[in-house]
Amino acid sequence: MAKKDTLLVLCECGNNIRDKIDLEAVRAWALGDSRISQVVSHELLCSSAGKVFFTAALKKFKLRHIIIAACSPRAHENTFRSLGVKAGVNLADVNLANIREQAAWVTANKEIATQKAITLIKAALARTEYHEKLELRSMECLTDVVVIGGGIAGMEAALLSSQAGRKVTIIEKNIALGGRVIHSEELAPNMECAPCLLSPRLFKIKDDPNIRVVSFAEAVEVVGFFGNYQVTAQKKARYVKESCIGCEACFEVCPVSVKSDFHLGLGSRKAIYTLFPGSIPAGAVIDRENCLHFKDGSCAACVSACPFAAIDFSEQDETLSFSAGAVILAIGSETHAPIQNRRLGLGLLDNVYTLAEFERLANSNGPTQGRILLKNGSPPSAVAVIHCAGSLSAEGLPFCSGTCCVMALKAGEFIRKQIPAAAVYNIHDRLVFPGPEMQSFFDKQVAHGTRLLKTPDLPSLTVAADQGQLLVTGKNLQPLRVDMVLLATGQQPAADSGKLADLLGIERSDSGFFKSDHYFLRTTGSTLDGIYAAGSCLGPVFADQAVLQAQSAAGEAVSRLVPGRQIELESMTTEIDPELCGGCKLCVSVCPYKAVSFLADQGVCAVNEAICRGCGTCAANCPSGAAQAKHFTREQIDAELEGILDD
Amino acid sequence: MKRKSSRAAKAAKISKPALRRTKTRKYAPRAKTAAAPKPKVAFYWCSSCGGCEEAVVDLEENILEVTAAVDIVFWPCALDFKTEDVRALPDQSLAVAFINGAVRTSEQEEMVKLLRAKSQLVIAFGACAVQGGIPSLANLKDKESIITRAYREAESVVNPKGTLPQENTTLHGESLTIPRFYETVYTLADVIPVDYYLPGCPPTRSLLEDALHAILGNRLPARGAVLAPNHSLCKTCERNATKPDRLMIQDLKRIHQVAADPESCFLAQGLLCLGPATRDGCGQACIKANMPCTGCFGPLSHFDQGAKMLSALAGIFQAEGETAADHFAASVVDPAGTFYRYGVAASLLGGRRKERSHG
Amino acid sequence: MTEFTPKIVAFVCNWCAYGGADNAGSQKLEYPAAVKLIRVMCSGRVEPEMVMQAFRQGADGVMVLGCHPGDCHYRNGNMKALRRFRLFSRLLAQFGIHQDRFVFDWVAASEGKKFQTVATRLAAAVQKLGPLSLTGYVRQGEPS
């Protein structure tokens, strides 16, 4: 038989409920119910006096279930649950029947509203029979930070977080830090030396005990939520021990030479290589694909050449795991290569380069040691720079990157520095030089001799080989004969950004860059709390912006991840009954937080209750009924259904 | 209150211990203890294909062991007994009646009620008796359209006058009566109280043997139990290891459209397999023949098998947005026939609107 | 004969649709009292089996309301619900339940007006269809 174990608390909500619902009729009904033991009412339960009254009633009657017929649980469930918990009532046992928003305010007829209010109380009552205790849980937030990407933004985020005393792990895909800024000799608009900018920061990172650099590695799994992330990375074998200092003794003896990615394919490197001299980490890496030892075991030249006995062919790929309160993404962007526009000649004609490739040619750490030369080894006397190459077009990039115009004019500066007599033409339609610094840079370049050729018909431009030179033709353009053509191409999302977004569960914008949580207010927050983004993975930016964004991201992360701060964990998690679970795994992929996993050794699935947010989607996906969302179990909902249909 | 108590009863019906208790095969056949009369057993069929009868025959030489232990007093499919023989028996004089097939005619109703009265135990034997089976797909149509289709429209029918079967016919002054064809198909438990359920299309030989041993050895679980393990087929499916942990299906295919890999999980191949929502105990006969599970062992516990599988399949289908969702929904040919092939009569929507009451 | 008052169950997610109903309340937007809510945390929690149970226990119309696409509090539970209930609608039709008795829609926490519209529309449709007789093709008097 039903136990009379329920206290019904009626709230008049001033006249909001009192005037619309016959509370006396409700009370009369309640006193006759087999489950309700006591009925009390108050004129405004959420007022200070009401709260005192509520607590007193709980203590006086000491009943198991408390049903408050009042307003929306969205408004006051927490209020009364915490009062209940303070008075020793479990939070599962304090529940609201929303007779204000769902009856009083939306039903004109008082009699019908009263009847509906009773039904809503019945429904709340019906489910209490199946309620089980819920546990209030919290955990201290993790304060460490994981940074994915070790370019200028990632490095800045790491340094700033470390400055706040946080342990930082940088996961870098390449074999060393540096990103793309290191590809440049100088940065516009003030022609600051890029290596000089980076180098001290690289060494600072190297010497920082708070920062761990995990290079040649990629994040493969990220689970958790703000304050509690678990990042798993796959680190590739380097085959060279950490004792390597990058002395390059092995380079000379290595018989294999391949195209260098660092030089964008314009130069070469050996099968054992470093990214650049003085890189962090300094150690070399053996390129397994091309190394003869791995091909046929025929070579071990580097082993004998190494003064530090650092070569280790037996090294294995590693899986590493890191805990962190926040993850900062700084994976950068990629240079768009408009190869589908064959008329521009990229990849087809000699001496046609993207600006990124040109920067390698002009860089002292580049394939030509910084000398700007044509394929035939002579310096160019006339160079054309074509703006918006591959940009603002449906088949290329549909947007303006906002960075290429500046780089385009910077090319002229580099050329004139080496070949003062060279003619530099910029063929453009629109020009973007935002702000006074950029504008004066532009004015200076024009003053120094860069010639501007404006045409509204950029898409019509054609580059053709002509008597050992290149001929640029197009509508509304005098045919132009030059030695070298540079394409000012835009920035596109990094190839990994889709994979990473899926891994993390964050959104990307239509252009494919990571989406900000809010364009103005939370630029460096991703769409998921605790995952931040900085630099050109949010969209093309200059280095200064990338650094600012990194500071913003790290600043917010560390200011929220205060040591000792508690983060509330979900009470209403999902549980899987291992007796019923058949291990079919269909709950695993539907979890938006990767809180559910298959335990192969036990043949069942299980929910990590530290990560579960209580949405219950896995419970709805469980074909054997083994997964149950606490406080929203099938039995509770069935009972509630009976309650609301019982009138 | 009635519903609540029936839900509690259902919850209690979880039959996990069923098989465990019946694992031991050895029992002392009562036949060998001389004078004691052998327990009497009846087999009967209602709306079914005969496959369940085959399952009994499939006991092969073990049937001799069975007949040594029991007296089969009624088995219309195999032995010549008459209804009158059953009527003549005292009430409760049969130890057990195995009844297969769904109930759709007045004759079937009469017979199962008769057997109920004469038997100490009634076992719903096979998918049709347990959940309505294939015959209960008819519940998706009404009686009139079924009769019209069968007697007038079917391609193989020649019936120029459009004659339809009549319950009572008078011919040459003689009155003929055939059983009444009901409006709908019922599970056995809709019509009479059922003590145990042996699912499957048909139940496997080993389940039947286990059940017989349990009955004879007096090792039966609580009444109302399903005599098969209460976990899904995936638990014992060898292919489950090949299923990715995070399975998302891109494209749903049908078995005739592809050459199914004989070792990988069907769902991982984009083939709909009801294994995750289906009770284990079948010995994976279909899976071993490289055919996905179609669900004949019914749901776990007291769930609605079709709803469970539908929900799970939709969850793991990779389709974001309304158009993609529509495309997915359209890609499941005949949802009711797919998800409820053996269980329309026992389903929440297609079953009789009456709670089962046991015992 | 008493006038038919339909019973309507709305499964609503805590974050959007329940908020939408609250918003209808605070704007004093009237809708039929027959519409009653079952709150779940996410529309992704709503099982087709629950909707069936609602019909079976006497509901004449059921709706499942979640957050608009992209607004799900739990990333994309609403998309899973969308797939489930698009397929479920086809199943309902096969079981002879009129499609107008079931609604799947999006209601944001600020859309009190939309909640009112959806609820009122379903109530009107169900009123027109009459009570749901889930006894299907079963006639009273058969096996008793």
The CA-based angle A383-A485-A414, given to 5 degrees, is: 50
User: Which segments of chain A have a pLDDT < 70?
Assistant: 1
Pairing mode of beta strands A484-489, A382-389: parallel
- Range(s) within chain A of domains with CATH label 3.40.50: 6-134
Q: Report CB contact under 8 Å: A106, C75.
A: no
Is the backbone peptide bond immediately before B202 cis, with ω within 30 degrees of 0? yes
**Contact residues, chain B, for A638 at CB < 8 Å:** 7
pLDDT band (50, 70, 90) for residue B57: confident
The answer on pLDDT for B355 being more than 50 is: no
Determine the Cα–Cα distance for residues B68 and A118; give it in Å rounded to an integer. 64
- The band of B31, judged by pLDDT with boundaries at 50, 70 and 90, is very low
Does the CB of A171 have a partner CB in chain B at under 8 Å?
A: no
Beta carbons of A505 and C49 less than 8 Å apart: no
Using CA coordinates, name the residue in chain A closest to B298.
A624
Q: Which of residues 554-613 of A touch B (CB under 8 A)?
A: 579-586, 588-590, 597-598, 603
CATH class of A6-134: alpha beta
Closest residue on chain A to C61 (Cα):
A645
How large is the average pLDDT for residues B315-329?
A: 94
Interface contact flag, B349 C76, Cβ < 8 Å? no
Residues A140, A566: contact at Cβ < 8 Å?
Answer: yes
- From the list B149, B134, B145, the residue with the least C-alpha distance to B298 is B134
**Measured CA distances, C17 to A158, C46, C70, C115, C119 (Å):** 41, 13, 14, 8, 11
- Kindly report the length of chain A: 647
Task: Tell me: pLDDT of B91 over 70.
Answer: yes
User: What's the rounded mean pLDDT across residues B138-144?
Assistant: 89
Q: Are B198 and B227 in contact (CB under 8 A)?
A: yes
Between B117 and B212, the more confident residue is B117
Tell me whether residues C137 and B325 touch, CB distance under 8 A. no
Taking the domains of chain B in order of start, what are their residue ranges?
A: 2-135+181-216, 233-346
Which residues make beta-bridge pairs with A134? none
- Could you tell me which residues are beta bridge partners of residue A466? A469
Q: Residue B10 pLDDT > 60, yes or no?
A: no
- Integer Cα distance of A428 and A452 in angstroms: 7
How far is the CA of A86 from the CAs of A41, A59, A62, A82, in angstroms?
20, 10, 13, 6
Which of B311, B317, B348, B355 to substitute to test the interface with A, most A CBs within 10 Å? B311
Calculate how close chain C gets to A85, using CA atoms only, in Å: 21
Q: By the CB < 8 Å criterion, does A140 face chain B?
A: no
Kindly give the pairing relationship between strand B94-100 and strand B71-74. Answer: unpaired
The neighbouring-strand residues paired with C102 are C62
Nearest-CA distance C26 → chain B (Å):
31
User: B283 burial class (0-12, 13-18, 19+ CB within 10 angstroms)?
Assistant: middle
User: Mean pLDDT of successive 10-residue segments in chain C (144 residues)?
Assistant: 87 98 98 97 98 93 96 93 97 92 97 98 95 59 51
Q: Which sign does the torsion angle of CA B5, B8, B12, B13 carry?
A: positive
Preceding amide of B90 cis, omega within 30: no
Cα pseudo-dihedral A308, A311, A314, A317, rounded to 10:
100
Strands (E), A298-372: 318-324, 326-329, 333-335, 352-354
Cβ separation B182–C90 shorter than 8 A: no
Spatial contact of A605 and A598, defined as CB atoms under 8 Å apart: yes
CATH number listed for the domain at residues B2-135+181-216: 3.40.50.700
Asked if the Cβ–Cβ distance from C95 to B336 is below 8 Å, we say yes
Chain C adjacent subunits, 3+ CB pairs under 8 A: A, B
Which is nearest to C30 in space by CA: B279, A105, A415? Answer: A105
Nearest alpha-carbon partner for B335 in B355, B315, B314: B314
pLDDT at B9: 41
Query: Could you tell me if A582 and B229 are in contact, meaning their C-beta atoms sit under 8 angstroms apart?
Result: no
Residue B356 has pLDDT above 90, yes or no: no
Domain-embedded: residue C112: yes
Q: Does C83 touch chain B (CB under 8 A)?
A: yes
The answer to whether the Cβ–Cβ distance between B276 and A586 falls below 8 Å is yes
Residue A78 distance to chain C (closest CA, Å)? 14
Domains held by chain C: number? 1
In whole angstroms, what separates CA A629 from the centre of its chain? 29
Give the DSSP letter string of B217-257: TT---STT-BSS-SSBGGGT-GGGGGS-TT--BS--B-GGG
Q: What are phi and psi of B102, to 5 degrees?
A: -85, 170
> Is B359's pLDDT higher than 50?
no
Residues A234 and A317 sit within 8 Å (Cβ to Cβ): yes
Of B26-30, B219-223, B271-275, minimum mean pLDDT range: B26-30
Residues forming beta bridges with residue A35, ordered by sequence position? none
Say what the ipTM of the complex is: 0.95
* pLDDT given at position C143: 58
Query: How high does pLDDT run on average in chain B?
Result: 87
d(CA A253, CA A231): 39
Residues of chain B with C-beta less than 8 angstroms from the C-beta of A642? 3-4
Compute the nearest-CA separation of B300 from chain A (Å).
6
Task: Look at B276 and A588 and tell me if their CB atoms are within 8 Å.
Answer: no
Q: Give a three-class secondary structure readout of A364-427.
A: CCCCCCCCCCCCCCCCCCEEEEEEEECECCCCCECCCCCCHHHHHHHHHHHHHHHCCCCEEEEE
- Residue-wise pLDDT for B224-258, tens only, equals 999 999 999 999 999 999 999 999 999 999 999 99
Q: Which residue of A has its CA nearest to C47?
A: A620
Count Cβ neighbours within 10 Å for each residue of C13-23 and write b for 16 or more, e otherwise: bbbbbbbbbbb
pLDDT at B358: 27
Helix (H/G/I), strand (E/B), else coil: A325: coil
Interface of C with A (CB under 8 A): 7, 9, 14, 18-19, 21-22, 24-26, 28-31, 33, 36-42, 44-47, 49-50, 53-54, 57-59, 70, 73-77, 80, 84, 116
In A141-292, at which residue ranges do the beta strands (DSSP E only) sit? Answer: 145-148, 168-172, 186-187, 192-193, 211-215, 217-225, 228-235, 257-259, 268-270, 272-273, 285-286
Taking the C-alpha atoms of residue B350 and residue B343, their distance in angstroms, rounded to an integer, is 9
Q: Chains near B, with 3+ CB pairs < 8 A?
A: A, C
Q: How many CB atoms lie within 10 A of CB A310?
A: 20
DSSP A101: I
Smallest Cα distance from B56 to chain A, Å: 29
The angle subtended at Cα A14 by Cα A7 and Cα A40, nearest 5°, is: 20
- Per-residue confidence (pLDDT) for residue B35, from 0 to 100: 53
Identify which of A75, A102, A620 has the shortest CB distance to residue C44: A620
Residues of C in contact with B103 (CB under 8 A): 143
Q: Please answer yes or no on whether B247 and A588 come within 8 Å at the CB atom.
A: yes
C103 is in which domain, residue-wise? 21-128
**CATH no. of A335-492:** 3.50.50.60
Is residue A109 helix, strand or coil?
A: coil
Distances (CA, A) of A42 to A8, A74, A263, B128: 11, 20, 77, 58
Q: Chains with ≥3 Cβ pairs under 8 A against A?
A: B, C
pLDDT digits (tens, 9 = 90+) for A228-240: 999 999 999 999 9
- Which residue from A107, A115, A616 is facing C45, i.e. has the nearest CB? A616
CATH number assigned to the domain with residue range A145-235+317-332+494-560, chosen from the 4 options 3.30.365.10, 3.20.20.220, 3.30.750.200, 3.50.50.60:
3.50.50.60
**Which CATH number is A570-630 given?**
3.30.70.20
Dig out the tokens for A503 from the structure.
Answer: 């891994």
- Is B186 touching C (CB cutoff 8 A)? yes
> By the CB < 8 Å criterion, does C41 face chain B?
no
CA-nearest residue to A620 within chain B is B311
CB atoms B231 and A580 under 8 Å: yes
Chain C residue nearest residue B322, CA to CA: C82
**With a threshold of 0.90, does the pTM exceed it?**
no
